[in-house]
Chain A
Amino acid sequence: MTDRVRRLAEFAIERTLFLCAAFSILVTAGIILVLLWETAAFLGDVPLSEFLFGTVWTPLFYDKHFGVLPLVAGTLLASAIAMAVALPSGLLIAIYLSEYAASPVRRAVRPVLEVLAGVPTVVYGYFALQFMTPLLQSFVPGLAGFNALSPGIVMGIMILPMISSLSEDALHSVPNGLREGAYALGATRMQTALRVVVPAAFSGISAATVLAASRAIGETMIVAIAAGQQPRLTLDPRVPVETMTAYIVQVSLGDTPTGTLEYRTIFAVGMLLFLSTFTLNLISNWLRERFREEYA
């Protein structure tokens, strides 16, 4: 092959790869533009203050209100329950796998845990609706057929491997010198793990937590199936609620005409959802950078 041909091929390959990269960015930009466009049109009809601080959400009905707070409350409630399940157990699993488990155990348990993240969310949704809810109803008084508790718990199971794997990576990458130093000072294994290794891995653990929270907020299928479809401003986990994502699903499934105010509500809600997960991801990145302990 001559030099010229090789240079040409090299050039073509480079351009192709560039186009691939540019494509994903263009798609993202396109999505954001559409969101912005439709949200701006929505905010032309509904004042921002009513959207953000209103407490009643009934855009599809006769007496229309556009207060997004009930959807936000539903989303936060379900996500908070998920985090309450996933954070402690995920962290304990990570500490066990990194600090206590023998290496073969670690190698076996990790992939098994990660299978949890690979289960299709529609399966989790029906698991919550058909199994978890009836089970919880046998001992939680007043638990409705659709509620925030059951999908919250199941969502916690789903994001558990996210927290445990990422946290374990963080814990595992803490240099052994720190552990040895702690042991040399007479610390027990538990003291070493909790007071030395975990603080040293704090940035990674908190980044994992925030990322998992962002995943929970954006989760759609589980809550659309098992949490109900009633926007309700409540922190009671036993009654039907509607999350932002579930609302978008509900409207998309119907035949709401394009261009109407009803139709634009899903973009406004989508924008809010996008902003919240985007912010969380930024925070996660920032945490990772800001609190990274450098070990030479």
Chain B
Amino acid sequence: MGMSSTSRLASATILVSGLAVGAAACGGGGDQAATSPSRVITVDGSSTVFPVTEAVAEEFQKASTGARVTVGSSGTGGGFQKFCRNETDISDASRPIKSTELEACSKAGIDFIELPVAYDGIAIVVHPNNSWATTMTIAELKKLWEPAAQGKVTRWNQIRSSWPDREIHLFGAGVDSGTFDYFTEAIVGKEAQSRGDYTSSEDDNVIVQGVSGDESALGYFGYAYYEQNKDKLKLVAVDDGDASNGAGPIAPSPETVAGGTYRPLSRPIFIYAKVRALERAEVLSFVEFYLSKGAPLVREVGYIPLTPQEQQLVQARFTARKTGTMFAGTDSHSQVTLEQRLAK
């Protein structure tokens, strides 16, 4: 997520020439953070969180003097690997830290503070001329996307018999994106289990392009990209069959995503701050800046800010330096709301 469609493919061609420069630029950062008291703040992790952190970093660098923030996007898992090897100060994550990563961090003696910074929803979209698919249940989505559907579920009327007998063209996240991990876990039930016969891309713009140009299409991607392409796409409301968090089908919107009724396809996104790095003034002021000034930037890049109460709770969590994860043993799309977790 986050790159424009032009830059993504074009960058393939200049990748090779850029490699040498890129390697030189990236190589130094980690050691510096670990050893010397330089004024560089190193952040790496989820490409979904990247736009938010990037925006905050930009504003922070304008506002403060001297401190530099480098933001990588090697994925949530890749980010935690570096974080737990003591190579970065802050890790971006589009899901809570996993128990294996937790273990790696505690082995390396790294304490962190888990800070939710925004909400992201996954939008299910169809072509504007699609008059039939206005709602779908989780079971229908599962039937459509699970590995067993590969090569078998290929027509609209196989999902719901009242829908037309025409081919369905699927577009979705590529296997390297956090959106893919999250979608498969929330819909199919197991992470990374998906059918493979669809147009998959790590670039959400490709999916926007595909669905907006094809009346038989259905696709999914981060809600932020729907906001930017409202006129070319139509949302499908999702029914999770659980009346306790809003009855019937619910479409994603800033209210339903933050309010926890657009389930299970909405999730909080996080930054993980290393406690020891907070001893450095510039890291401390960056995280404080992120928490206090982040909300309008979150909205600007298309994500959904936390509610004011949640923001206060996150602030309090940070002030109290409360370490560890609030998701031990559960996942971020279960029934417990973020506010309840934060209040614990």
**A interface residue numbers (CB < 8 A to B):** 56, 58, 60-65, 122, 125-126, 129, 133-134, 137, 142, 144-146, 221, 224-225, 228-232, 239-240, 249-250, 252-256
Bound-complex Cα distance A137 to B216 (A):
14
Bound-complex Cα distance A225 to B11 (A):
12
Contacts A126-B6, A249-B12 hold; do A146 and B195 have CB atoms under 8 A apart?
no
Flag B68-92 by CB within 8 Å of A: 1 or 0 each.
Answer: 0000001100100000000000000
Say which residue of B176, B198, B216 sits within 8 Å of A144 (CB atoms).
B216
Please report the total number of B residues contacting A with Cβ < 8 Å.
40
Contacts A145-B217, A229-B201 hold; do A61 and B195 have CB atoms under 8 A apart?
yes
| A62 engages B199 (CB within 8 Å) | no
B128 within 8 A of A: no
Give chain B residues whose Cβ lies under 8 Å from the Cβ of A221.
Answer: 9, 13
Given contacts A61-B150, A229-B201, A253-B8, list 14 more A-B pairs with CB under 8 A. Answer: A58-B150, A58-B196, A63-B150, A63-B195, A133-B213, A144-B217, A145-B211, A145-B217, A146-B214, A230-B200, A240-B214, A252-B12, A254-B202, A256-B176
Give chain A residues whose Cβ lies under 8 Å from the Cβ of B20.
Answer: none
A-B interface, 6 closest residue pairs, ranked by CB to CB distance from nearest: A145-B213, A58-B196, A61-B196, A254-B176, A144-B214, A230-B199
Chain A: CB-nearest residue to B209 = A145
Bound-complex Cα distance A171 to B175 (A):
51
Give chain A residues whose Cβ lies under 8 Å from the Cβ of B216.
Answer: 142, 144
Contacts A122-B10, A126-B6, A146-B199 hold; do A240 and B169 have CB atoms under 8 A apart?
yes
Give chain A residues whose Cβ lies under 8 Å from the Cβ of B211.
Answer: 145
Chain B: CB-nearest residue to A242 = B199
| Whole-angstrom distance between the Cβ of A141 and the nearest chain B Cβ | 10
**B interface residue numbers (CB < 8 A to A):** 6, 8-10, 12-13, 15, 74-75, 78, 147-148, 150-151, 167, 169-170, 174-176, 192-202, 206, 209-214, 216-217
Number of A-B contacts defined by CB within 8 Å: 100
Scoring B15, B174, B175 by chain A CB atoms within 10 A of each residue's CB, the highest score goes to B175
The interface residues of chain A, by DSSP majority, are classed as loop
Chain B: CB-nearest residue to A59 = B196
| A62 engages B194 (CB within 8 Å) | yes
Bound-complex Cα distance A58 to B8 (A):
22
| A144 engages B213 (CB within 8 Å) | yes
Bound-complex Cα distance A225 to B193 (A):
26
Say which residue of B78, B192, B197 sits within 8 Å of A255 (CB atoms).
B78
| A254 engages B212 (CB within 8 Å) | no
| B13 engages A122 (CB within 8 Å) | yes
Give chain B residues whose Cβ lies under 8 Å from the Cβ of A137.
Answer: 213
Bound-complex Cα distance A250 to B150 (A):
20
Contacts A61-B196, A145-B214 hold; do A56 and B176 have CB atoms under 8 A apart?
no
Chain B: CB-nearest residue to A133 = B213
| Whole-angstrom distance between the Cβ of B39 and the nearest chain A Cβ | 29
Chain A: CB-nearest residue to B8 = A253
| B74 engages A254 (CB within 8 Å) | no
| B193 engages A62 (CB within 8 Å) | yes
Say which residue of A125, A231, A253 sits within 8 Å of B197 (CB atoms).
A231
Chain A: CB-nearest residue to B149 = A63
Chain B: CB-nearest residue to A129 = B209
| Whole-angstrom distance between the Cβ of A131 and the nearest chain B Cβ | 13
Give chain B residues whose Cβ lies under 8 Å from the Cβ of A63.
Answer: 147-148, 150, 195-196
| Whole-angstrom distance between the Cβ of A13 and the nearest chain B Cβ | 31
Chain B: CB-nearest residue to A64 = B196
